[in-house]
Amino acid sequence: MPVDIPPTIAAKIKQFCAYQERSHQEVKEKLYGMGLYKSQVEPMLSILIEENYLNEERFATQFAGGRFRIKNWGKTKIKYELQLKKVSTANIKLALSQINEDDYLATAHKLAAKKWALLQKDPVHQRMYKTQQYLLQKGFESAIAKQAADKAAANTTS
């Protein structure tokens, strides 16, 4: 451990990283918030990576999987959020590839059916528009949003 990093701060940041997966950017911000300087932050990040407290690939995969399963986010929104956290493009692609395509489509169809059912009083064209917009807001690609809205409309009319 570098001499100029107080042991209490090193222990706190290790606990911070051990609690849940963190991006490098989150850890940097935390270290700067603790009053460390750039000359102290960079070596501390190196130590955390060496000791496997920080792993950007693992973070990206966990983040993408969690946001998809728990919050039902689409790939576009997940990609955008990972970019905000300054995750590398390669790790973003890897994380998005871990999402099962069948589950992804099933989630889009489930969300579309739910939204379609909530909009029963609206005219069909407005229901279609609002359902597609909802899926786009959740981060699904436009082709998938249109397909899911079409399927939700077809299931209620037949």
pLDDT digits 0-9 by tens, 103-131: 999 999 999 999 999 999 999 999 999 99
Q: Which residue has the tokens 């436009």?
A: 142
CA distance 58 to 4: 29
Cβ within 8 Å of residue 2, ≥6 positions away:
40, 43, 44, 47
Residue with the larger pLDDT of the pair 6 and 117: 117
Neighbour count for residue 100 (Cβ, 10 Å): 11
Q: Does pLDDT of 87 surpass 90?
A: yes
The CA distance from 75 to 112, in Å, is 16
Place of tokens 């998809």: 68
> Does the global pTM surpass 0.75?
yes
Q: How far is CA 41 from the centre of its chain?
A: 25
Nearest to 11 by CA among 29, 38, 39, 34: 34
pLDDT of residue 3 exceeding 70:
no
Amino acid symbol at 79: K
Which amino acid appears at position 116 of this protein? W
pLDDT > 70? residue 135: yes
